[in-house]
């Protein structure tokens, strides 16, 4: 990946949490703040042409509530980030990249380590699983997300999160992982997220890597 300095890693924050916890809603709002660029891998996959080979491959997994294999996910992610850089939608020297939905497995976390420097992991937390299921079903109706319509598929997604994704939290130093209450008004959640992100960004600006 070519940032201005090809050896430098991309400074990122991770939006982490169970399906339906509100990562997409928060990411969309936060991505409108100058200096923050939101990249959701779910959106990246849904943007594929459904009739293409990759689009079909994505549907094969997502329709069952499963993760797309790591190799394909990381390859597409790299291409996608490069596209954002090439079109100036993301300027690595100036913007903080907010990753939503990746890494979702330890394999992905290890691959991404070669490319990213994680400033902060924002772990959105909601302890009521039924509330998450309800949210996902309402979103499926509103956005026509067929992968999310079926309750058994949703429960599978939540299980996959527990088995494959939650362990990723331990991959990062506990000092950069912050639990954020994801309940309440969306704007309250946004405020809490910013309360953890802003000090991390300020701290990095005051103490740049390599200084």
Residues that bind ligand AMP (CB under 6 A): 19, 41-42, 45, 61-62, 66-68, 73, 101-102, 104, 108, 157
Cβ nearer to ligand AMP, comparing 92 with 103: 103
Interacting residues of 1 by C-beta distance below 8 A, sequence separation 6+: 10, 78, 81, 82, 85, 115
CB of 157 to ligand AMP, least distance (A): 6
CB of 211 to ligand AMP, least distance (A): 32
Interacting residues of 143 by C-beta distance below 8 A, sequence separation 6+: none
Cβ nearer to ligand AMP, comparing 22 with 42: 42
Cβ nearer to ligand AMP, comparing 45 with 172: 45
CB of 95 to ligand AMP, least distance (A): 21
CB of 55 to ligand AMP, least distance (A): 12
CA–CA gap between residue 201 and residue 23 (Å, rounded): 19
The residue with tokens 């979702």 is 104
CB of 134 to ligand AMP, least distance (A): 15
Interacting residues of 170 by C-beta distance below 8 A, sequence separation 6+: none
Q: Are 13 and 98 in contact (CB under 8 A)?
A: yes
Cβ nearer to ligand AMP, comparing 48 with 201: 48
Q: Are 124 and 23 in contact (CB under 8 A)?
A: yes
Cβ nearer to ligand AMP, comparing 68 with 189: 68
């Amino acid at each position: 990946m070519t940032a201005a300095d090809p050896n430098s890693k991309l400074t990122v924050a991770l939006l982490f949490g169970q399906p339906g916890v509100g990562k997409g809603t928060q990411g969309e709002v936060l991505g409108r703040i100058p200096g923050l660029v939101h990249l959701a891998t779910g959106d990246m996959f849904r943007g594929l042409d459904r009739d293409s080979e990759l689009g079909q491959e994505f549907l094969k997994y997502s329709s069952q509530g499963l993760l797309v294999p790591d190799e394909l996910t990381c390859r597409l992610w790299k291409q996608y980030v490069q596209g954002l850089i090439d079109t100036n939608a993301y300027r690595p020297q100036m913007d903080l990249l907010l990753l939503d939905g990746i890494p979702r497995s330890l394999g992905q976390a290890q691959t991404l380590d070669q490319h990213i420097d994680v400033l902060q992991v924002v772990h959105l937390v909601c302890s009521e699983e039924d509330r998450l299921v309800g949210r996902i079903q309402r979103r499926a109706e509103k956005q026509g997300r067929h992968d999310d319509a079926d309750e058994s598929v949703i429960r599978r997604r939540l299980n996959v999160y527990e088995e494959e994704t939650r362990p990723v939290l331990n991959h990062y130093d506990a000092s950069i992982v912050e639990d954020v209450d994801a309940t309440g008004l969306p704007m309250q959640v946004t405020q809490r997220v910013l309360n953890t992100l802003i000090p991390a960004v300020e701290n990095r600006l005051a103490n740049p890597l390599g200084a």
